């Protein structure tokens, strides 16, 4: 019987396991791999037989990794990510001068895009691709890193702290003038524009009020799925938005939006630059990463 050089099980079993472990779902893994859930289950059973251990704890509607499963997933996810990066580099040698960074549409418009323009003035030879979306960045091997509020669940990703923001109610100048110095109870009775985001790490109006000691229920009368849209509604006097003070600093500085005091909350989470480990980044990606960190630390906002 022939022996594989690296003494590995069939790669199809490893691929099926990695997808199932990442999704924590045989069904979702099957959709990604374009096979049936039964085929995924068969591959994983074959792998468990090869290793003579159980990799998943099967439940009625979900699966959890065992300790052996967690150990295998950690090394596989890291290895697959490095393979993806190497293949990408081989496909296009010019990619060494290209960096891909992701963010929400609001972060891109209010902070990241102006920062990238300033970066280009110093390093015009580096091409920066921006990907903006208002949903979590998952399964995006093309990204070098992305800006995220709060830590990502993937422990294999590098997390570089950027800043911790402050949360204040903001509205149009006229609305802010009428509400200057109001109590939390009065503030709660105003039309509050809620952000309905797939990413549950963002602090919401109810959480903001609760953190400041206001325990009554906050009604959700108006919601949008884009922070940029919420800010535009607030500018037009249509309601109040929970303002990330540093992020929307240009709008506050220009007077398009005005903070409504005196209520202010330090954000529970930090903003992070999340992505590949330092050793997997290209020279250009490391240059942009270091530049962003330095600019954040140099800013007094």
Where exactly are the structural domains of the chain? 11-90, 94-164+270-298, 166-266
Residues 6+ apart with CB under 8 A from 12: 43
Distance (Å) of CA 139 to CA 22, 32, 81 = 9, 10, 10
Average pLDDT over residues 235-244: 94
> Which two three-digit tokens encode residue 31?
């959709």
Residue 2 has pLDDT above 50, yes or no: no
Q: For the domain with range 166-266, which CATH number is right: 2.60.40.1930, 3.40.109.10, 3.40.190.10, 3.40.50.360?
A: 3.40.190.10
pLDDT tens, residue by residue, 245-287:
998 998 999 999 999 989 999 999 999 999 988 888 888 899 9
Which pLDDT belongs to residue 90? Answer: 64
Percent of the chain with pLDDT over 70: 94
Say if residue 233's pLDDT is above 90: yes
11-90 and 94-164+270-298, same CATH topology: no
* Residue 1: predicted pLDDT: 38
Q: In the structure, what pLDDT confidence band is assigned to residue 240 with cuts at 50, 70 and 90?
A: very high
Q: Whole-angstrom Cα distance, residue 240 to residue 233?
A: 8
The answer to whether domain 94-164+270-298 has CATH 3.40.190.10 is yes
Q: Say if residue 82's pLDDT is above 90.
A: no
pTM for the structure as a whole: 0.66
Highest mean pLDDT among 128-137, 190-199, 239-248: 239-248
For residue 34, what pLDDT band results from cuts at 50, 70 and 90? very high
Q: Which two tokens stand for residue 74?
A: 């950690």
Instruction: State which fold the 11-90 domain adopts.
Output: Arc Repressor Mutant, subunit A (1.10.10)
Cα separation, 135 vs 234, in Å, equals 22
246 within 8 A of 167, measured Cβ to Cβ: no
Q: What is the mean pLDDT of the chain?
A: 88
Q: pLDDT tens digits, residue range 88-113?
A: 766 654 555 789 999 998 899 888 99
Residue 289 pLDDT: 94
């Amino acid at each position: 019987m022939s022996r594989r050089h690296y003494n590995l099980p069939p790669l199809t079993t490893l691929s099926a396991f990695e997808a199932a472990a990442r999704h924590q779902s045989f069904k979702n893994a099957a959709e990604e791999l374009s096979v049936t859930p039964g085929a995924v289950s068969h591959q994983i059973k074959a792998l468990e037989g090869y290793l003579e251990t159980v990799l998943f704890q099967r439940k009625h509607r979900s699966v959890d990794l065992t300790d052996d499963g967690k150990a295998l997933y950690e090394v596989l996810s890291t290895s697959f990510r490095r393979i993806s990066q190497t293949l990408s580099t081989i496909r296009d040698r010019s990619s060494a001068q290209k960096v891909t960074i992701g963010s929400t549409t609001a972060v891109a418009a209010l902070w990241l895009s102006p920062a990238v323009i300033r970066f280009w003035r110093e390093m015009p030879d580096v091409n920066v691709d921006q990907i903006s979306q208002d949903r979590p960045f998952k399964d995006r091997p093309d990204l070098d890193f992305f800006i995220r509020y709060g830590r990502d669940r993937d422990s294999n990703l590098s997390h570089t702290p950027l800043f911790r923001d402050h949360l204040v109610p903001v509205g149009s100048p006229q609305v802010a003038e009428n509400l200057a110095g109001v109590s939390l109870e009065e503030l709660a009775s105003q039309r509050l524009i809620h952000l309905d985001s797939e990413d549950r790490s963002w602090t919401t109006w109810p959480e903001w009020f609760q953190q400041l000691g206001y325990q009554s229920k906050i009604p959700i009368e108006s919601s949008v799925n884009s922070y940029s849209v919420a800010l535009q509604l607030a500018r037009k006097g249509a309601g109040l938005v929970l303002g990330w003070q540093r992020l929307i600093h240009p709008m506050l500085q220009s007077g398009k939006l005005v903070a409504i005091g005196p209520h202010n909350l330090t954000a529970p989470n930090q903003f992070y630059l999340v992505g590949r480990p330092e050793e997997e980044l290209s020279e250009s990606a490391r240059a942009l990463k270091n530049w962003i960190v330095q600019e954040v630390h140099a800013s007094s906002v």
